[in-house]
């Protein structure tokens, strides 16, 4: 998979050299490109933003540097998926992560300020798939941290990235748990600071363990995320 990221803060993506994603890059499973949006400015101050038409606070990212960046990075016949992280996007979910993991080229356009001139997404959509994606109902200062989260969620799903592919089974939000939250996990010692591991987990009864875990998932989901019990969204 190829992943390109465009941002005025390319240094935000240094952590992609670490850990699992870093290994996927150094092993060649993922080809990573990080690009400074200011490469596609032409004025002395390398300006990327301007005041909003219609008034209001803050600044808006100008379409021109984005347009030139996409023209240069995306050849005429190529079909990357352009992901624009924004708090007004569709919610990023495990099922979207799984779908993105099947693409061969993801391109992230990370906006700052009050966002990117809306014509950038509109124009890009005439020649590639464009999705505006939000991590959740809160506001970050820009798309960079969201892009990091999305890249990590996607890359760990690529075949050959996780040391133990069984780690992908039975995760919170995965299909194996019916979209419920994961049950609590324990390791040795069986007693720690006066707290015991639930005895069923030490019993060796696989069926009882499975029943207990399913019930814990259900209780936990009812308490913390009742919205998930309404079924798949
Ligand atoms: Cl994707 N971007 C920004 N700027 N803020 C967010 C977000 C994205 N998701 C949640 N908050």
Same domain, 101 and 186: no
133 and 186 share one domain: no
pTM of the predicted model as reported, rounded to 2 decimal places: 0.94
User: Ligand 1 within 6 A of 15 CB?
Assistant: no
The domain of 93 spans: 2-156
Beta strands in the chain, from DSSP E residues, in sequence order: 2-7, 31-36, 49-50, 60-61, 81-91, 105-109, 129-134, 191-192, 195-196
User: 110: domain CATH number?
Assistant: 3.40.1280.10
Do 147 and 178 belong to one domain? no
Distance, CA of 84 to CA of 4 (rounded, Å) = 12
So what's the ipTM on this one? 0.95
* 129 falls within a domain: yes
* Boundary of a domain, candidates 156, 182, 197: 156
If one counts the domains in the chain, the total is 2
| Whether residue 58 sits in one domain with residue 17 | yes
Residues 55-72 have pLDDT tens digits of: 999 999 999 999 999 999
Q: Final residue of a domain: which of 156, 176, 207?
A: 156
CATH label of the domain that carries residue 192: 1.10.1270.20
149 lines ligand 1 (CB under 6 A): no
In angstroms, the CA 112 to CA 85 distance is: 10
233 inside domain: no
pLDDT at residue 147, rounded to an integer? 98
The answer to whether the CB of 117 falls within 8 A of the CB of 84 is no
- By most ligand atoms within 8 Å of CB, the mutation choice from 134, 138, 147, 150 for ligand 1 is 134
The answer to whether position 185 is within a domain reads: yes
From CA 2, how far away is CA 129, in angstroms rounded? 15
pLDDT digits (tens, 9 = 90+) for 150-206: 999 999 999 988 878 887 877 888 777 788 999 999 999 999 999 999 999 999 999
Any ligand 1 atom below 6 A from CB of 139 = yes
- Give the up-direction half-sphere exposure of residue 1: CA atoms within 13 A in the CB hemisphere: 26
Q: Is the pLDDT of residue 233 over 60?
A: no
């Amino acid at each position: 998979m190829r992943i390109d990221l465009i941002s005025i803060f390319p240094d935000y993506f240094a952590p992609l050299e670490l850990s699992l994603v870093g290994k996927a890059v150094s092993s060649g499973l993922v080809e990573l490109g990080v690009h400074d949006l200011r490469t596609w400015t032409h004025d002395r101050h390398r300006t990327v933003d301007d005041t909003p038409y219609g008034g209001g606070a803050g600044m808006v990212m100008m379409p021109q540097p984005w347009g030139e960046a996409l023209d240069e990075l995306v050849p005429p016949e190529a079909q990357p998926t352009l992901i624009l992280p924004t708090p007004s996007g569709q919610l990023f979910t495990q099922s979207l992560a799984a779908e993105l993991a099947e693409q061969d080229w993801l391109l992230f356009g990370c906006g700052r300020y009050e966002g990117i001139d809306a014509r950038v997404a509109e124009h890009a959509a005439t020649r590639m798939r464009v999705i505006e994606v939000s991590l959740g109902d809160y506001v970050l200062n820009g798309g960079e941290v969201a892009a990091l989260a999305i890249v990590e969620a996607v890359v760990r799903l690529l075949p050959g990235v996780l040391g133990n592919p069984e780690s992908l089974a039975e995760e919170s939000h995965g299909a194996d748990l019916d979209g419920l939250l994961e049950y609590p996990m324990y390791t040795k010692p069986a007693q720690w600071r006066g707290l015991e591991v639930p005895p069923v987990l030490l019993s060796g009864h696989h069926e009882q363990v499975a029943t207990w875990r399913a019930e814990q998932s259900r209780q936990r989901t009812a308490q913390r995320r009742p919205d998930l019990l309404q079924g798949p969204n």
